[in-house]
Structure 1
Amino acid sequence: MTRPARHTALVCALAAATALLPAAPVQAAEPPSPLRFTSCSGSVPRPAAPERVECGRLSVPLDWHRPSGPRIEVAVSRVRASGTPAERRGILLVNPGGPGGSGLPYAVTKRAKLPESVRRAYDVVGFDPRGVGRSTPVTCGPMGGLFDSPGNDPVPAGARAERAYLASLRALADDCATHAGRLLPYLSTEQTAYDMEAIRAALGEPRTSFLGVSYGSYLGAAYTARFPHRVGRMVLDSVVGPGDWYDFDVLQSRALLRQRDTFFAWTAAHAGRFGLGGTPAAVRDSYLRVRRELAARPVAGFGPAEFDRAVYRALGRTERWAGLADGLRGQLTDGDPDGLRPDGAFDSADSRNYEAANRVVKCADGPAPSPRDILADIRSTRRLDPQPVLTGMEASACAYWHHRPGRRTPLGSPDAPPVLLVASAHDPVTPIEGARRLQPLLPGSRLVTLDDDYSHGVFASRGDACVDDTVAAYLVRGEVPSGNVRCAGPGLPTAR
């Protein structure tokens, strides 16, 4: 069986097996104290007046399987429902993704985009998952040179480069073991799901309604596995799906190849605007020329690793495509890659925490690949395209991890109420296959698909009335569609 076929078989088998995994026993913990909110620091944006954001901290066990042991704190934010008491439907816990995304400000930024009926009905509650932001942040130090500028070429070609690639993964794992210390085994998605339940209890709410995007969908599915009878109304947007994190990363890398080909064709169709060539092949040649130039002569710390990170970020949202094409042209015509640089420094404190938490969570959630698998998959991907984008292959470091979890994170439950899954038909970051594979683990769930769309993040993000109205009706009135829903998408953007 080929490696891609093994991926498919493994993920499908896991989808059936995950629901059967027994729940690990958790000893009774002391009931959490009520959350007391005060004003937030300046890092949390303020909502529109007259509403305000409040922040609090909750003490939870480091290890929920040993609740009398050491404790950590989880930072929580809240913007109260703006409607009348009769309109209120409870709390809507939100997570922006990652793993590693900070949810503390997300309660404000995402809430501002929600339909008004949802804002009137729910207290929107954000939190930094354990290990992230202001919730006992984890660090992995230099992470095997990940923050070197310019970084090494992230796509190894040849035996010598492959050995260096594996050595960098080992160094990253060693750095995480050295700097994360006692936190390493306990920053898993399952432990965070218990933190979510503690937030619900501390707020005195009978149910947790939840909106999770990207990794947030995985976190929501983990919560349903442990606390199905505490689930209120749950929306999982841009679904990761069941399976090992490494297999997900491989599937994503293949989807990025398809998305990049679509970007090449789109750019060629606007040749007069971008000047990168009038055919997809010509645009591809321009793209490869830029990458070769930066690999040979990095400019102000911007080399092939930085280039691939910029491409990875841009491919996930079509509104960034024009900026990517303009940046390619700027390097070709002026030797200036500044147009390709994303906003914000990659080696900032927040970015370092994100990258560390991302690996630590992924490696705490389930089995690791072998070095042989990693090289086989890279070679297989390079046979599809000699110059892939491997930026999202974070779980490769798990091959050398110092703490190996004994089992996979359980996802989904037949006892949970109907859940709404939302997906973009051509999302390259969380391919729609993830939603289709998770749906059987959540009986009664419905899949809302935005057709002819190529971006990551859909509900209250793409501005689609069909999606937003369907999800709002579910959240506010509990209306579950009679079947899966397909919404007509926007297609590719116009070039401005």
Structure 2
Amino acid sequence: MPPALRRTALLCTLLTCAVPLTTGTATAEPTTSFGPGTTATGPGTSAAPPPHFGTCPDSVPAPPAPDRVECGTVRVPLDHARPDGEHIRIAVSRVRASGTPAERRGVLLVNPGGPGGSGLPYAVTKRAKLPAAVRRAYDVIGFDPRGTGHSAPADCGPMGGLFDSPAAGSAPLDPVPHDRPGERAYLDAQRRLAADCAAGTGRALPHLSTSETARDMDAVRAALDEPRISFLGVSYGTYLGAAYAARFPDRVDKLVLDSVVGPEDWHAFDVRQARAVLRQRDVLFGWLARHDSRFRLGTTPREVRAAYLRTRDGLTARPVAGFGAAAFDRAVYRALGRTERWTALGDGLRAYLDEGVVDRLRPTEPFDGPESRTYQAANRAVKCADGPGPTPGRVIADIRGLRRLDPQPVLTGLEAASCAYWHARPTEHTRLGSPAAPPALLVASAHDPVTPIAGARALGRTLPGSRLVTLHHDYSHGVFASRGNSCVDSTVAAYLVGGTVPARDVHCDGPGLPEPSPRQP
């Protein structure tokens, strides 16, 4: 997105005005931003008119020729229980099937996860990795779920200082509480975050739920004039797909759920994930020790852990260019989810210890800018709209439990902690799965720390006849058309294109831990 348009979009997010979805000469569809002053766009019906497809925002890449991507919007009620109330627009992208009419199998909606991930460019980026037979068979449909990207982005303002660095001369902040004053400060930060979201998002707050988004998906289906949809969801996308199957089981064709979120409340999932992240970090320490000649962090996991803690303690006491303990924990959390990021993390630890620089620890994509703030706002808003949040006492008890497992846990993923102070009650509890839905294909990495495999096994029990495809000896998040595993990819492609449901669960052999990537100059 050009800088001028990016500034305009951010300003309009703050002022609750409309910005164009398209950046070319095609007819623009407005994006609505949530805020206390949100007004109704006029009466409407539950049946969405067909989207007018045109030029896409600059954030959506162009697919390889001769394919092309087109974007539009679908108008939906903010509250589907009140179809004549105020409306918002859901941004949709489409890359048409490349095969013959006889090969076409319909539409494949895709979602990259989150909650909070923008799906508009995902129709292009994910489609490029899909097996050729799937690309020939399906129109791939991306969409920004409500509250994200170009679909009425949520606005949580400062978010309780989530992205703030301590001012010069002030006491450094540690996002992990180690004593009772620290616990009180942690809860106060969650309270302020919830207050920021209430002030910024207003009365839309309870309607940014997975259940409402599932109804938006059905509005997209209707607008495209499709009797049923197929769906590929990754991470949070599996939760969304299971919610759609629960509400509209007769409108599901094929359902692929990759890296599965289990059927539990969000805080329970966050804690389960935090435990898995600690196990994965121990694996990382062992891997770095085995490659000590490259990273020089220690020849044993204990020595590597000591180097890791020296880095974190140093950044806690004295942040470098705004990069402190919270930013470090976020970078570690991100790196632990994909083994191909481990080399950069190891190099970053060494560079900090040798030179005091943090450039190699910073993620390559924007992490604390407007895009990340929108993601973080939508993430909390969706989790807190999906069901009852934890009590403050439960939050602290779970953090103490994590600290008993390891004195220095990574709490970055405990996003539902702010739900303890949320200003809106959920309008309904999100239901997942249905015995009336057709058999689904669930995919999981055996050692994925972001969505532990136990969640896939539990969700599979809500979808009778479904099968689980496990990639063994793998430690990364995101499997199908991501890890390059022919066993996984061919199994899922046969299901999507030919409707082949395996007779039993499928077990595929994964790559194991990688070798370090070449040293960067």
Aligned to 1:134: 150
Distance 2:380 2:221 in 1: 27
Deviations 1:165-206 (A, max 9, x none): 100000000000001012101000000000000101110111
Which residue of structure 1 lines up, in the alignment, with residue 495 of structure 2? Answer: 474
Question: Is 2:105–2:138's contact at 8 Å kept on the other side of the alignment?
Answer: yes
1:177 aligns with 2:198: yes
Partners of 1:54 and 1:79 within 8 A in 2: yes
- 2:388 alignment partner in structure 1: 367
Indicate the residue corresponding to 1:434 in structure 2: 455
Q: Does structure 1 conserve the Cα–Cα contact (< 8 Å) formed by 2:207 and 2:427?
A: no
For 1:10, the equivalent position in structure 2 comes to none
Q: In structure 2, the residue corresponding to 1:337 is in which secondary structure?
A: coil
Measure, in 2, the Cα distance between the counterparts of 1:67 and 1:171: 33
Conservation of the 8 A alpha-carbon contact between 2:46 and 2:76 = no
1:13 maps to none
Q: Give per-residue Cα distances to partners, 1:249-293, cap 9 Å, x unaligned.
A: 000000000000000001101110110000011100110111111
What secondary structure sits across from 1:118 in the alignment?
helix
What is residue 48 of structure 1 aligned with on the other side?
64
Partner of 1:399: 420
Q: Is 1:274 matched up with 2:290?
A: no
Whether 1:166 and 2:187 are equivalent positions in the alignment is yes
Tell whether the 8 Å contact from 1:331 to 1:337 is kept in structure 2 after alignment: yes
Give the TM-score normalised by structure 2.
0.89
Equivalent positions of 1:142-221 (< 5 A) are 142-149=158-165, 152-221=173-242
Name the residue aligned to 1:253.
274
Q: How much does 1:209 deviate?
A: 0.1
Q: Distance in 1 between matches of 2:321 and 2:426?
A: 41
Q: CA deviation at 1:337?
A: 1.4
- Matched AA of 1:439: G
SS of corresponding position for 1:86? coil
Contact between 1:92 and 1:124, CA under 8 Å: does it hold in 2? yes
Output the CA distance in 2 between the equivalents of 1:250 and 1:109: 31
Q: Does the 8 Å contact 2:259/2:477 carry over to 1? A: yes
For residues 418 and 105 of structure 1, the distance between their equivalents in structure 2, rounded to whole angstroms, comes to 28
- What is the match of residue 11 of structure 1? none
Kindly provide the CA deviation profile for residues 357-382 of structure 1, in whole angstroms up to 9, marking residues without a partner as x.
Answer: 00000000001111111111111110
AA at the equivalent of 1:246 = H
What is the percentage of aligned positions where both structures have the same residue? 69
Alignment match of 1:97 (pick from 109, 113, 119): 113
- 8, 31, 41: which one pairs with 2:47? 31
Q: CA deviation at 1:29?
A: 4.4
Moved more, 290-299 or 222-231: 290-299
Counterparts of 1:187 and 1:301, CA distance in 2 = 31
Counterpart CA distance in 2 for 1:30 and 1:242 is 29
* Aligned equivalent of 1:332: 353
Once the 2 structures are TM-superposed, how far is the Cα of residue 160 of structure 1 from its aligned partner? 0.6
In structure 1, how many angstroms separate the alpha carbons of the residues matched to 2:355 and 2:254? 52
Please give the alpha-carbon distance, in whole angstroms, between the structure 2 residues aligned to 1:57 and 1:237. Answer: 26
Q: 1:115 aligns with which of 112, 123, 131?
A: 131
In structure 1, what is the Cα distance between the partners aligned to 2:47 and 2:381? 28
Deviation of 1:149 after TM superposition, in Å, equals: 2.3
Q: CA deviation at 1:153?
A: 1.2
TM-score (normalised: structure 1): 0.93
Q: Do the aligned partners of 2:446 and 2:474 also contact (CA within 8 Å) in 1?
A: yes
Is the Cα–Cα contact under 8 Å of residues 367 and 407 in structure 1 kept in the other structure? no
Q: Which residue of 1 aligns with 2:260?
A: 239
Deviations 1:433-466 (A, max 9, x none): 1101001100010000000100000000000000
Q: For 1:111 and 1:238, how far apart are their aligned partners in 2? A: 18
**Could you tell me how far 1:346 is from its partner in structure 2?**
2.6
Q: 1:78 — aligned with what?
A: 94
1:451 is aligned to 472
Equivalent-residue separation in structure 2 for 1:345 and 1:323 (angstroms): 16
CA–CA separation in structure 1 for the residues paired with 2:286 and 2:77: 52
Q: Over aligned residues, Cα RMSD in angstroms?
A: 1.0
| Greater mean deviation of Cα atoms: 33-42 or 372-381 | 33-42
Match of 1:415 in 2: 436
Corresponding residue SS for 2:117: coil
How far off is 1:351 after superposition?
0.9
Gaps of 5+ in 1: 1-27
Asked whether the equivalents of residues 385 and 427 of structure 2 are also in contact (C-alpha less than 8 Å), the reply is no
Q: Deviations over 1:333-364 (max 9, x none)?
A: 11111110012333321111100000000000
Distance 1:367 1:434 in 2: 19
CA contact (8 A) 2:75 2:87 kept: yes
Give yes or no for contact 1:435–1:447 (8 Å, CA) kept in 2.
Answer: yes
> 1:406 deviation in Å?
5.2
CA distance in 2, matches of 1:216, 1:186: 18
Which of the numbers 323, 345, 366 marks the counterpart of 2:344? 323
The CA deviation at 1:407 is 4.2
Residue 224 of structure 1 deviates from its aligned partner by 0.2
1:309 aligns with 2:325: no
Letter in structure 2 aligned against 1:473: A
**Alpha-carbon separation, structure 2, partners of 1:398 and 1:134:** 25
Letter in 1 for 2:126: K
Equivalent position of 1:288 in the other structure: 309
Larger mean Cα displacement after TM superposition, 464-473 or 332-341? 332-341
Q: Does the residue aligned with 1:448 lie in a helix, a strand or coil?
A: strand
Instruction: Kindly indicate whether residue 511 of structure 2 is the aligned counterpart of residue 490 of structure 1.
Output: yes
Structure with the greater relative contact order (CA < 8 A, sep ≥ 6): 1 or 2? Answer: 1
Q: Secondary structure at the match of 1:85?
A: coil
The secondary structure found in structure 2 opposite 1:37 is coil
**Structure 2 unpaired stretches of 5+:** 1-43, 167-171
- Residue 84 (structure 2) pairs with residue 63 (structure 1): no
Indicate the SS of the match to 1:163.
helix
Q: Which amino acid aligns with 1:484?
A: D
